[in-house]
Structure 1
Amino acid sequence: MTKNKANTLPYLEIQITDSCNLKCKGCSHLAGMFPADQHIPIEHFKADLERMQALFPVIEKIRLLGGEPFLIPDLEDYCRAARSAYPDADIRIVTNGLLCLKCSKELYAVLRELHIGIDVSMYPPTIRIQDQLTALFEVEGVDHKLTAPITRFAKRIDLSGSSDIHSTFWQCDSKWCSFLREGQLCVCPAPYFLKQLAERYQLSVQAESGIIPIHETALTPEQIKDFLNTPNQVCRYCTEMVFFDWKVNQKYDLSDWIIEKGK
């Protein structure tokens, strides 16, 4: 496939499960709030890939994430579908690594066959098994990357919506992190999960401006790329990050994600 500006998307994150085996306080994907088996149906995943392929025959980098992807019993089916749709893409699974020691040799064989790598987010529980993970991946011949230790999380949502969208967008680390979940393509993960928070906590916010329904849109690929690369009204809900120590949450509260100005 010949690459050009119209048919190429540089990067896409695809959420394939909402469920997670960690309950991190302030998780930006709200993982841990969902049942252990709330995975995106494989038929929906394949339909999204087919639609994205029609819009963007070339996606250079694809990240399959959650939640925790290794909770999905038939994860290899998602991997095969992604590789079939995008044979030349750099495809990697993003994981907390805690289930990797229990995965079958057959699954690792599929990852080798499909040239799909693993990116491990090194949270404190994962740091404790770092040597075991590294040894496992090397034995199984699976390409892997470990992040630097993650000992802090951050929240940055300001419900007042008073941030300047242009400065917020251009200063944001997630501005090139296009995100897809069940037919909803977002400028970054924030619009989708802000929408979920609004529904759960009955918040008066408008997150839809940052979301394109790919199966319904009449936008051209070039227009979609302009949308993804332009400051959006949903950016007004993001503000300067407030950091806190990583911890596992026993009970969620809206304050895990929301910054109350003046406090």
Structure 2
Amino acid sequence: MDDVAGKTGGKIIGRDHTFLPGRVHKMRFSADKPSLPYFEMPIVDSCNLNCKGCLFAYNQEETAGPIALAEIKFDLKQMADRFADVAWIRFLGGEPLMHPDLAEILSYARMLYPTTILDICTNGLLIPSIDEAVLEAIKAHHISLHISGYQPTYQLLDRIDARLKAAGIEYHILRRDEFYKFYTLEPDNDPVQSHAACPSCACWELYHGRIMKCSAVLAFEKMNRQFGTKYQVIKNEDWFDIYDESLKTSELYEKCLNPSQMCRYCNLKRKETFPWACGQKEKLSDYILE
């Protein structure tokens, strides 16, 4: 099965900036505003797992918790105002099922985006005990449920399956036995080559009023705080303020499609694969190529 998150090779748009068949539904277009194929929205800065080499480096958060409901609503509304249509939105974490207002987030998102594919990416561990109101919102608003199948998840799979079947909710699960790393400490890689090889080149992140080219922005900022690394993350190059009225949406969209200076820190040709692991003390070497 393909990883519907696009994180293990399943790209959403091709190199010619057209949508790949079968990846997104038909979209509305406007002469006034661009349409966006996809963005991800982390809604919780904490997780109930501590995965080695977490793609978002959420195990590096010193102060973590749910992002405020009001902020999430503002950001979703601003994206709806900026773009004519969005084909696919995914809610992530950390662990998104940990957000206390998840049912209201889903209801509001569906109101703003009535035809958009809305998807929750979760490790599934909370599903057996989650509040019934969340499951009702998932079903009522036609939310897709994508479960990352880590080892602890598979140990609960019978309970997860029983709870979701009882609620009448379909789900997809992808077994994740391996992670990989491809960051370098120095910006000595060809950004065009890195961007061309990147499975996440169209996995734009919406986070605290910023749209980011990929999750590396979050990871680099957290590693700078935790390990004292010197990654450069530059406004209007690697991330953009969605409330900046001087920034045209068409300009934002075009820049997000193309390589930026941040791509110099990635070397996909040398990427290293390692077995999934959890619960150990994090090291910089969990993220950085030797």
- TM class by shorter-chain length? over 0.9
Query: Contact 1:192 / 1:207 at 8 angstroms: preserved in 2?
Result: no
Residue 251 of structure 2 corresponds to 223
Shift of 1:80: 1.5
Q: Which amino acid aligns with 1:183?
A: G
Instruction: Report whether the alignment pairs 1:52 with 2:82.
Output: no
CA distance change for structure 1 residues 160 and 2 in 2, over 3 Å: closer, same or farther? closer
Map 1:124-143 → 2, pairs under 5 A: 124-143=151-170
Q: Which amino acid aligns with 1:206?
A: Q
Q: Which amino acid aligns with 2:239?
A: I
Match of 1:74 among 98, 101, 117: 101
| Contiguous gaps of at least 5 residues in structure 1 | none
Q: Which amino acid aligns with 2:263?
A: C
Instruction: Report whether the alignment pairs 1:247 with 2:277.
Output: yes
Match of 1:182 among 199, 208, 223: 208
Determine the C-alpha separation between the residues in 1 that align with 2:230 and 2:61. 23
Q: Tell me the SS of whatever aligns to 2:87.
A: strand
Q: Which amino acid aligns with 1:228?
A: C
Query: Contact 2:51 / 2:59 at 8 angstroms: preserved in 1?
Result: yes
Shift of 1:87: 1.4
Deviates more, 1:213-222 or 1:72-81: 213-222
Percent pairwise identity: 31
Map 1:55-204 → 2, pairs under 5 A: 55-147=82-174, 149-204=175-230
CA deviations over 1:6-27 (Å, ceiling 9, x no partner):
4310001001011100000110
CA deviations over 1:149-169 (Å, ceiling 9, x no partner):
111111111011111000110
Shift of 1:232: 1.0
Residue 21 of structure 2 corresponds to none
| TM-score normalised to structure 2 length | 0.84
Determine the C-alpha separation between the residues in 2 that align with 1:120 and 1:66. 12
Determine the C-alpha separation between the residues in 1 that align with 2:87 and 2:148. 21
Q: Which amino acid aligns with 2:205?
A: F
Query: Contact 2:60 / 2:222 at 8 angstroms: preserved in 1?
Result: no
Q: Which amino acid aligns with 1:225?
A: Y
Residue 207 of structure 1 corresponds to 233
Determine the C-alpha separation between the residues in 1 that align with 2:134 and 2:230. 44
Shift of 1:217: 5.3
Q: Which amino acid aligns with 2:200?
A: S
Query: Contact 2:95 / 2:122 at 8 angstroms: preserved in 1?
Result: yes
Query: Contact 2:188 / 2:265 at 8 angstroms: preserved in 1?
Result: yes
| Contiguous gaps of at least 5 residues in structure 2 | 1-26
Match of 1:16 among 39, 43, 56: 43
Deviates more, 1:241-250 or 1:211-220: 211-220
Shift of 1:132: 2.7
Bigger proportion of residues as strand: 1
Query: Contact 1:23 / 1:33 at 8 angstroms: preserved in 2?
Result: no
RMSD: 1.8
Query: Contact 2:39 / 2:89 at 8 angstroms: preserved in 1?
Result: yes
Determine the C-alpha separation between the residues in 2 that align with 1:164 and 1:38. 36
CA deviations over 1:199-258 (Å, ceiling 9, x no partner):
332222212231111112522222111111101110000113111111113311211111
Determine the C-alpha separation between the residues in 1 that align with 2:284 and 2:261. 22
Moved over 6 A (4+): none
CA distance change for structure 1 residues 27 and 217 in 2, over 3 Å: closer, same or farther? farther
Query: Contact 1:21 / 1:36 at 8 angstroms: preserved in 2?
Result: no
CA deviations over 1:60-112 (Å, ceiling 9, x no partner):
10000000011112211111221122111100111000000101222211111
